Amino acid sequence: MLIIGITGGTGSGKTTVVNKIAAQFPKDEVCVISQDSYYKATDDLSYEERVKINFDHPNSIDFDLLIDHLNQLKKGETINQPVYSFVTHNRTKDTIKTHPRKVVIIEGILILNSEDLRDLCDIKIFVHADADERLIRRIRRDINERARDIDEVLSRYQDTLKPMHDQYIEPTKNFADIIIPNNQHNNVAIDIVRSVINERL
């Protein structure tokens, strides 16, 4: 099993890169695991308290469960991924049954903050995009997909997203094996990643 970690700031275009890489393989040979599924459960908090959680800090991620699930997959075992709701800011009662695959892609803004998780990754990729482009994408996504209003999105960006990016995400670029500039002409970078993957497999 080959484990690929893909990270970068919010709105950097990680999903596009993930999809391009995943498209290189038959569907039954690759699976994608999102860091967002592994935000810690907050059943003990009220909705008002959950809204105030800093989801861009490493402490918000249940790295122990994520690492445990990856180790289970490596052993050939099936896992039940949690499902997280960004509307309620909590895990739902649903899970996604995930089977071991030839290639496992983990994506998320904080995945390279955990040394144990980094050690599990055979290839580590950082997707880079300019801050203004990332902000525009974040605004569109949170309003259209996560039922947020513009004031909430901008406040969260100013109070948590930007300082957390500078402190916890941008520095993890130093752990990356490959840095992909996210623009409309990154096919060369994707081809390089594909070559590296094929060589490792």
Q: How many domains does the chain have?
A: 1
CATH code, 37: 3.40.50.300
Contacts of 167 (CB under 8 A, 6+ apart): none
Q: Does some domain include residue 200?
A: no
pTM for this model (two decimals): 0.86
Q: How far is CA 169 from CA 7, 10, 132, 134, 176, in A?
A: 8, 9, 16, 13, 11
**Domain membership of residue 149 as a residue range:** 2-189
Three-state DSSP class for 94? Answer: strand
Going through the chain in order, the beta strands assigned E by DSSP cover 2-8, 30-34, 79-85, 90-98, 103-107, 123-128, 178-181
- For the segment 87-106, what is each residue's pLDDT rounded down to a tens digit? 888 899 999 999 999 999 99
Structural tokens at position 186: 């990154």
Q: Does some domain include residue 28?
A: yes
CA neighbor of 70 nearest in space, from 43, 44, 108: 108
- For the segment 129-160, what is each residue's pLDDT rounded down to a tens digit? 777 777 777 788 778 777 777 877 777 777 78
Segments of the chain scoring below 70 in pLDDT = 183-185
